[in-house]
Amino acid sequence: MKPIPEILADNARLYPNETALVEINPQELEARHATWKEYSLIEPGTVDAFRSEITWAQFEEKANRFANFLLTRGVKKGDKVAILLMNCLEWLPIYFGVLRTGALAVPLNFRYASDEIKYCVDLADACALVFGPEFTGRVEQIADRLPNVKTLLYVGGDCPTFAESYGTLVSYCSSRRPSVPLSLDDDAAIYYSSGTTGFPKAIVLRHRALAQSCEVERAHHGQTHEDVFLCIPPLYHTGAKMHWFGSFLVGGKAVLLRGVKPEWILRAVSEEKCSIVWLLVPWAQDILDAIERGDVDLADYDLSRWRLMHIGAQPVPPSLVERWRRVFPGHAYDTNYGLSESTGPGCVHLGVENVAHVGAIGVPGFGWEAKIVGPAPERVQVRRGEVGELAVRGPGVMKEYYKDPKATAEVLDADGWLYTGDMAMQDPEGFIYLVDRKKDVIITGGENLYPVQIEDFLRGCDAVKDVAVIGLPDERLGEIAAAVVETKPGVKFGEAEAEAFCKALPRYKRPRKFIFAPVPRNPTGKIEKPKLRKQYCGAALVARQVGLAT
């Protein structure tokens, strides 16, 4: 195992003229009123607003130039450099350039508002911020209120006056690899938690964790140099990047697709000969729905290279996998469980050989251990079949929450066990099933309800596109289960139909209230339950107070 900048150097040496990264922006076609086929045979190496690419040698050169630029600005080992970019060809060379200096890369969520950007940059003590044109307005609002930031670098055309141009400055720097020694025990990156209980926590990962994630992904999915990985989720998140690490380890091509329309995904697989695609639940659902509606015709695409579809970042409804395998019977399927504190996916994974156990998140991943424990502080391991908190241990566990020893101690013990906050159970064969987030459990009349179980059941209804179950305050029971149901377009499905469908559930598990509305998800596919609670629990409390007053 070696620090991942050395893997990049190996790829540049072994495959200098082979394509490393492709960026595809289908929105450019729509803006030109053009078709994808008009651009399917662009000359390799050509830079175009729709499709552009770089080789492994160019990747290495860009990373080195950026590293040398940072060194000229006084960035040193242990410093932090924040990255606020949409997926693009520059993203990964910038990330690796930061690592080459011995500094920590600090990717930021592209949905952050100005105050969140400032909070995360300040918390990480970042000395530099690299941002793209989509964030100019947000960064301008805080540019003079970032006390630690000495370099504001803009990636794109028409550089704003409060920043410096990445393209202009970095192009003049040396392309030679800087001689900064790195070890697996050095700090490498800070990733931020989802921030579902307020502002996010800063998760410190070592180089060992990043290197291990390469090995984990390769061990689970057997990537070869000939595989082509389609990357759609945002690169600031550990899920997308760490799945790509398996292809990166063997010098395989990756395609960055900027868009999630079903026809764009299928066309990218077809034109770029993609063999591995990682999807989020909503995207997989949208593809299947588009096929069923006749909006896309599979005969229009060459999908013969596509061998693996896997899903992660959220609970996967078994009904979705069953639908997918009916439409794509030749695909291997896998699901991976992970969290940013475990360097993303793979600490638990189903395994393509265990498709008969769909519904489980799987077994401990390559190099990982897992157990299920009772409440703190004892955290005694429970018997198989009992629900408890999932804990994992392995080389990918975070070092700490940066500058937050109290929060670190709450989830990471002296023996290296990371307590995930996810409730789970293990069956007699050793397969682990995710029950729910500890904080999402609904206690109604003394009974524990696990929303994921109810959500999976409701997603088995043909009329339901998406669903989220939350607890609403109730005077008598404490809480009741409410299902926020997003129906498929043009389908008649109301409260009566929902209640009739749920009669197959035990009475205590049936939702007491149905709300028909869109289900919000964040960029990594997780349901934004805090947003739903704020919207509907607040309304329920007001209604309850009015009722008490009258």
Residue 549 predicted with pLDDT over 50? no
Give the C-alpha separation, 81 to 91, whole Å.
13
Q: Which amino acid is it at 130?
A: V
Give every CB contact of residue 391 below 8 A, 6+ residues apart in sequence: 370, 371, 372, 373, 379, 417, 418, 419, 420
Please name the fold of domain 308-438. Answer: Luciferase; domain 3 (2.30.38)
Q: Which amino acid is it at 201?
A: K
Residue 111 predicted with pLDDT over 90? no
Task: Give the mean model confidence (pLDDT) for residues 158-186.
Answer: 95
pLDDT score recorded for residue 113: 85
454 versus 508: the higher-pLDDT residue is 454
174 versus 526: the higher-pLDDT residue is 174
CB distance 146 to 122 below 8 Å: yes
Task: Give the mean model confidence (pLDDT) for residues 217-244.
Answer: 92
Domain ranges of the chain: 4-300, 308-438, 441-549
Give the C-alpha separation, 507 to 509, whole Å.
5
Residue 546 predicted with pLDDT over 90? no
Give the C-alpha separation, 312 to 456, whole Å.
15
Nearest CA-CA partner of 351 in 455, 284, 423, 432: 432
pLDDT digits (tens, 9 = 90+) for 58-80: 999 999 999 999 999 999 999 99
**How many angstroms from the chain centroid is the CA of residue 223?**
20
Beta-bridge mates of residue 23: 52, 256
Tell whether the torsion through CA atoms of 170, 174, 179 and 183 is positive or negative.
positive
CB distance 232 to 264 below 8 Å: no
CB distance 106 to 76 below 8 Å: no
Query: What is the model's pTM?
Result: 0.82
Q: Which of 251-260, 309-318, 453-462 has the lowest mean pLDDT?
A: 309-318
pLDDT score recorded for residue 208: 97
Question: What CATH superfamily is the domain 441-549?
Answer: ANL, C-terminal domain (3.30.300.30)
Residue 335 sits at φ, ψ, to 5 deg, of: -130, 145
pLDDT score recorded for residue 41: 47
Give every CB contact of residue 406 below 8 A, 6+ residues apart in sequence: none
Task: Report residue 319's pLDDT band, with 50, 70 and 90 as the boundaries.
Answer: confident
What are the DSSP E strand ranges found in 56-124? 80-84, 104-107
Question: What percent of the chain has pLDDT above 70?
Answer: 90
Residue 206 parent element (H or E) = strand 202-206
pLDDT score recorded for residue 355: 86
Task: Give the mean model confidence (pLDDT) for residues 420-437.
Answer: 87
- What helix, strand, coil percent values describe the chain, rounded to 5? 35, 25, 35
Instruction: Give Rg (Cα) of the chain.
Output: 24
Give the C-alpha separation, 256 to 53, whole Å.
10
Residue 269 predicted with pLDDT over 80? yes
Give the C-alpha separation, 184 to 161, whole Å.
39
pLDDT score recorded for residue 520: 87
Q: Which amino acid is it at 382?
A: V
Task: Report residue 237's pLDDT band, with 50, 70 and 90 as the boundaries.
Answer: confident
Q: Which of 313-317, 373-377, 445-449 has the lowest mean pLDDT?
A: 445-449
Task: Give the mean model confidence (pLDDT) for residues 175-183.
Answer: 95
DSSP string for residues in 303-320: -TT--EEEEESS---HHH
Task: Give the mean model confidence (pLDDT) for residues 250-266.
Answer: 94
Task: Give the mean model confidence (pLDDT) for residues 112-118.
Answer: 90
pLDDT score recorded for residue 344: 86
Give the C-alpha separation, 110 to 273, whole Å.
29
Give the C-alpha separation, 370 to 45, whole Å.
45
Residue 435 predicted with pLDDT over 90? no
Give the C-alpha separation, 367 to 3, whole Å.
17
From the number of C-beta atoms within 10 Å of its C-beta (0-12, 13-18, 19+), residue 339 rates as buried
pLDDT score recorded for residue 437: 66
Task: Report residue 194's pLDDT band, with 50, 70 and 90 as the boundaries.
Answer: low
Residue 287 predicted with pLDDT over 50? yes
Give every CB contact of residue 357 below 8 A, 6+ residues apart in sequence: 350, 429, 431
Half-sphere exposure (CA, 13 Å, Cβ side) for 245? 27
Residue 196 predicted with pLDDT over 50? no
Nearest CA-CA partner of 245 in 213, 279, 207, 205: 213
Task: Report residue 542's pLDDT band, with 50, 70 and 90 as the boundaries.
Answer: very low
Task: Report residue 415's pLDDT band, with 50, 70 and 90 as the boundaries.
Answer: very high
Residue 81 predicted with pLDDT over 90? yes
Give the C-alpha separation, 111 to 462, whole Å.
32
pLDDT score recorded for residue 548: 34
Strand, helix or coil for residue 363: strand
Question: What CATH superfamily is the domain 4-300?
Answer: ANL, N-terminal domain (3.40.50.12780)
Residue with tokens 């140099």: 225
449 versus 234: the higher-pLDDT residue is 234
DSSP string for residues in 8-71: HHHHHHHSTTSEEEEEE-HHHHHHHT--GGGGTTPPTT---SSEEEEEHHHHHHHHHHHHHHHH
Check for a shared fold between 4-300 and 441-549: no
